[in-house]
Amino acid sequence: MREVREKLTSSGSGTRTFDVELLRMFAERHRSATPAMVALAFVVAAVATLWVRILDAAIWLALVCSALALLSLWANRFLADVEPSNLVVWQRKFVFGEATRGLAWSLMVGLVLNVHDPAAQAFVLFVLLLVAAITAMLSASVPAAVYTSLAPITLAIFVLTHPISGHQALPLMLLAGGAQAFLIVLARRLYATAIETLSVQAEKDALIVELEQSRLNSDEARRRAEEASLAKSRFLATMSHELRTPLNAILGFSEVMKGELFGAHMVAAYRDYSNDIHSSGQHLLTLINEILDLSRVEAGRYELREESVSLAHVVDDCHRLLRLRAEKRGLLMLDRVEAGLPSVWADERAIRQVVLNLLSNAIKFTPQGGTVTIKVGWTAQGGQYVSILDTGPGIPDSEIPIVMSSFGRGTLAQKNAEEGSGLGLPIVKGLVELHGGTFTLKSKIREGTEVVVILPSERVINALPKLSPDGNPPEKTRRGGRLVRSAA
């Protein structure tokens, strides 16, 4: 991480991290180009023997090869060092090596100074420009090396073209000067490209480090979450057993005392106390069951026992169970169930719990004289829905996420001090989603609240059609993972 930060905070010069990379690029290029440069020197020396003595050409070739060998030796030593130190020293060595190489190549001008053949001068000028171009590309990552190498070559070109008199020298000097200027600009562009490449590589390395760190953090968080979930499950299982055991005694004995099975109480207040104990015990038992149900749903351990279920039948049973409570509060309950609805493939206990929770909430928060409407029917996509609409005070939009969260209660529930743990809607939502359905809550202030539970079309069981007139059974098909029969 520290190395990546150094790369990202560097500007490309004067920083140790980028200097190492730039020098490494310089060394790698020269090490790979040395054999080609030596071959070029041999070819140039061989061609130069057409105008100079073989001994002079051999001496020049030896100087060039020595300069190339020195630069290649330093490059190999630098690359062999895993963590190069004394970068300034290495940079000076490479600059000196480039200056030596450029000087060695420029000495070939001395070979043809006394030769009055224009072809020899043109050949030397071409070779010097070629070497200058190669130098600009190979040494671009170290600008100082480019300048020190091009300086003797430029001077040699000037010496070569100086003896030419008249207007003939001007085009050559302009060509040579323009070529050198172009090569310097090219070297600077290549240097800028190298810096940009290193910056992008540093950013990529930093991104990889961050992603790896995020992955490690995510794995650690997941491990802790799994441990916490396991600890919660063990705690709930233990507490469920530890709480249910005394609750059974509390509920049983309080019911006996409430009913005065062994005789009337001498003090009437004892009967009221027994009722309070029994109702409190039932409330506590309901709370325990809801917490366990929610924990199983959130942990994905709630197993659905699917079977053929009629939504209309389940809604009718729940209506009859809660009708007395609604009448005590002076509420009107209306049923609007479409006729001929086929059964659905679902867990009847879970669907019954969903409807009971939603109806209980509607009755609890609807004021006296209000209406609770229950609708069951088809959806546009071929599924079935259950809608419960009340004429209560409604829920503000800002509180809908609160009431949908675990233990979340709206301001209305707190103001009216209504009993409840705030787990009913999260449990309903979880059970519906386990069936692949959707749960929607819509509410308007002073108009009421509507909750809609939708089961997908894949859970609807098609009814068996009548036999065809010829008496052949209809063709068997599959829908929603269950075997059904299509019409003939």
User: At residue 167, what is the residue type?
Assistant: H
Positive or negative: CA dihedral 289, 295, 297, 300: negative
Q: What is the mean pLDDT of the chain?
A: 80
Find where tokens 């023997």 sit.
Answer: 49
Q: List pLDDT tens digits, range 65-103.
A: 999 999 999 999 988 886 777 888 898 999 999 999 999
List the single range of 35-39, 181-185, 380-384, 472-476 with lowest mean pLDDT: 472-476
- pLDDT band at 170; cut points 50, 70, 90: low
SS3 163: coil
Helix (H) or strand (E) holding 365: helix 348-365
Q: Residue 82: is it exposed, middle or buried by C-beta count within 10 angstroms (0-12/13-18/19+)? A: exposed
- pLDDT band at 410; cut points 50, 70, 90: low
pLDDT value at position 430? 84
Mean pLDDT of 103-129: 87
CA distance linking residue 402 with residue 425, whole number of Å: 10
Mean pLDDT of 118-124: 87
Helix (H) or strand (E) holding 374: strand 371-378
User: Could you please report the per-residue DSSP string of 306-331?
Assistant: EEEE-HHHHHHHHHHHHHHHHHHTT-
pLDDT value at position 403? 78
pLDDT value at position 422? 61
CA distance linking residue 25 with residue 30, whole number of Å: 9
* Alpha-carbon distances of 77 from 19, 34, 73, 80, 310, rounded to whole Å: 16, 15, 6, 5, 84
* Residue 11, φ and ψ in degrees, nearest 5: -100, 0
**Residue 164, pLDDT above cutoff 50:** yes
CA distance linking residue 108 with residue 70, whole number of Å: 19
pLDDT value at position 15? 47
CA distance linking residue 350 with residue 346, whole number of Å: 8
- pLDDT band at 12; cut points 50, 70, 90: very low
SS3 199: helix
pLDDT value at position 466? 47
Close Cβ partners of 70 (under 8 Å, ≥ 6 residues apart): 97, 100
Which strand ranges, in their side-by-side order, compose the sheet holding 332-337?
332-337, 371-378, 384-390, 448-455, 438-444
List the single range of 75-84, 156-165, 367-376 with lowest mean pLDDT: 156-165
Mean pLDDT of 331-350: 89
- pLDDT band at 300; cut points 50, 70, 90: low
CA distance linking residue 409 with residue 227, whole number of Å: 29
Beta-strand pair 384-390/482-485? unpaired
pLDDT value at position 47? 92
User: Could you please report the per-residue DSSP string of 427-483?
Assistant: HHHHHHHHTT-EEEEEEETTTEEEEEEEE-GGGBPPPPPPPPTT-PPPPEEEETTEE
CA distance linking residue 159 with residue 110, whole number of Å: 9
What sections of 107-168 are H helices per DSSP? 108-112, 118-138, 143-161
Q: List pLDDT tens digits, range 172-209.
A: 677 777 888 888 888 889 888 888 888 888 888 888 98
Higher pLDDT, 477 or 269: 269
CA distance linking residue 24 with residue 77, whole number of Å: 11
pTM: 0.47
Angle ∠(166,167,169) on CA atoms, nearest 5:
85
Mean pLDDT of 298-305: 70
Q: List pLDDT tens digits, range 254-263.
A: 888 877 777 7
Task: Give the number of other CB atoms < 10 A from CB of residue 254.
Answer: 20
**If we measure between CA atoms, which residue out of 152, 42, 176 comes closest to residue 102?**
152
pLDDT value at position 10? 45
* Residue 472, φ and ψ in degrees, nearest 5: -80, 140
Close Cβ partners of 266 (under 8 Å, ≥ 6 residues apart): none
pLDDT value at position 328? 87
pLDDT value at position 421? 56
pLDDT value at position 417? 40
Find where tokens 């705030």 sit.
Answer: 422
pLDDT value at position 406? 62
Higher pLDDT, 9 or 271: 271
* Residue 447, φ and ψ in degrees, nearest 5: -120, -35
pLDDT value at position 409? 64
Given a contact cutoff of 8 angstroms between Cβ atoms, the answer to whether 371 and 331 are in contact is yes
- Taking the CA of residue 443 as centre, how many other CA atoms within 13 Å lie in the half-sphere pointing to its CB? 23
